[in-house]
Amino acid sequence: MAYDSIFKGDLFAGQTIIVTGGGSGIGRCTAHELAALGAHVLLLGRKVDKLKNVTAEIAEDGGKADWMVCDIREEEAVKHVVSELIRKHGPIHGLVNNAGGQYPAPLASINQKGFETVLRTNLMGGFLMAREVFNQSMSTHGGAIVNMLADMWGGMPGMGHSGAARSGMDNLTKTAAFEWGYAGVRVNAVAPGWIASSGMDTYEGAFKAVIPTLSEHVPLKRIGTESEVSAAIVFLLSPAAAFVSGSTLRIDGAASLGGRAWPIHKAQISTSYNGFHRAYLPDVLRPDVLKDKE
């Protein structure tokens, strides 16, 4: 089997695209789709085993991928890894700033270290990657950057540190798009809502118990797929978005809209797209797994 992308197979032929956080979840899915469309994908992350596994998967499927370990929160590490990637693979045509992480907690219980850690991962790391890719490659050759946000438009209760970081990345996306446009660099972002991804299995306690009910709060009455996020990223990287820059595309089934005064009706028609042939459903959304744990 191969990735069933809706885009033409040679869309990114001859292009080199970095995907941070490419060892799991949305990053893994996006790396697979980009490779299936002809890109040479460069995976960055902190966990060697995950990076090796995804690189091997892509190779098995006939794609091209390489990996390097990098903590995107460390400025000198980012400078070095971008330099090494350019030395080995030439100009960088695209950057998917996907790496991130957070943990559920009310604001009153988040200490300074925890708050700063999430901001460094979800905002500072993305800034460092974008800056170095621009300075070392795209300022001369052009390119496209897609940043990862989240559904934080009405605040982000229970994850205020991540909401603050994602909001900052939204503004950074707009600023970079304006400042770097002269060099032929487009900068956009995607803001996924609730997506069925491996990250859901990292949560515990009360937050984990809520996950199976999230679809009830989405007008489309379902949770999104990794492929639906990846497809949006691919579009923003592609020539079809050549005049799109400084925009953030929401991928949330309209969950970020409306209010409590307007009821969400029962589902009638809601068709999902899942082109990722190696996708798997998180345990927290699998009734058979949940039943076995009872």
| Residue 117's CATH number | 3.40.50.720
Query: What confidence score (pLDDT) does residue 199 get?
Result: 73
Q: Which residue range(s) make up the domain with 66?
A: 16-268+277-293
What CA–CA distance (Å, rounded) separates 18 from 204?
Answer: 31
Query: What confidence score (pLDDT) does residue 213 get?
Result: 79
Q: φ and ψ at 67, to 5 degrees? A: -140, 155
Classify residue 5: in a domain, yes or no.
Answer: no
Classify residue 86: in a domain, yes or no.
Answer: yes
Classify residue 8: in a domain, yes or no.
Answer: no
Classify residue 222: in a domain, yes or no.
Answer: yes
Place of tokens 């927290």: 284
pLDDT tens, the chain, 294 aa long: 799 999 999 999 999 999 999 999 999 999 999 999 999 999 999 999 999 999 999 999 999 999 999 999 999 999 999 999 999 999 999 999 999 988 889 999 999 999 999 999 999 999 999 999 999 999 999 999 999 999 999 999 999 999 999 999 999 999 999 999 999 999 999 999 999 887 777 776 676 778 887 888 899 999 999 999 999 999 999 999 999 999 999 999 999 998 777 778 877 777 888 888 998 788 878 766 544 554
102-137 per-position pLDDT tens digit: 888 999 999 999 999 999 999 999 999 999 999 999
Query: What confidence score (pLDDT) does residue 215 get?
Result: 82
177: left (phi over 0), alpha (psi -120 to 50) or beta: alpha
Counting every residue, how long is the chain? 294
Classify residue 166: in a domain, yes or no.
Answer: yes
Q: What is the 3-state secondary structure (H, E, C) of the chain?
A: CCCCCCCCCCCCCCCEEEEECCCCHHHHHHHHHHHHCCCEEEEEECCHHHHHHHHHHHHHCCCEEEEEECCCCCHHHHHHHHHHHHHHHCCCCEEEECCCCCCCECHHHCCHHHHHHHHHHHHHHHHHHHHHHHHHHHHHHCEEEEEECCCCECECCCEHHHHHHHHHHHHHHHHHHHHHHHHCEEEEEEEECCEECHHHHHCCHHHHHHHHHHHHHCCCCCCEEHHHHHHHHHHHHCHHHCCCCCCEEEECCCCCCCCCCCCCCCCCCCCCCCCCCCCCCCHHHCHHHHHHHC
Query: What confidence score (pLDDT) does residue 15 get?
Result: 98
Query: Is the entire prediction scored with pTM above 0.85?
Result: yes
What CA–CA distance (Å, rounded) separates 180 from 108?
Answer: 38
**Residue 209 to residues 64, 71, 204, 205, 214, Cα–Cα distance (Å):** 39, 31, 8, 7, 10
Tally of domains in the chain = 1
Query: What confidence score (pLDDT) does residue 270 get?
Result: 76
Query: What confidence score (pLDDT) does residue 294 get?
Result: 47
Classify residue 123: in a domain, yes or no.
Answer: yes
Classify residue 174: in a domain, yes or no.
Answer: yes
Q: Are 203 and 230 in contact (CB under 8 A)?
A: no
Q: To the nearest 10°, the Cα dihedral for 32, 274, 213, 22?
A: 10
Q: Are 186 and 233 in contact (CB under 8 A)?
A: no
Classify residue 284: in a domain, yes or no.
Answer: yes
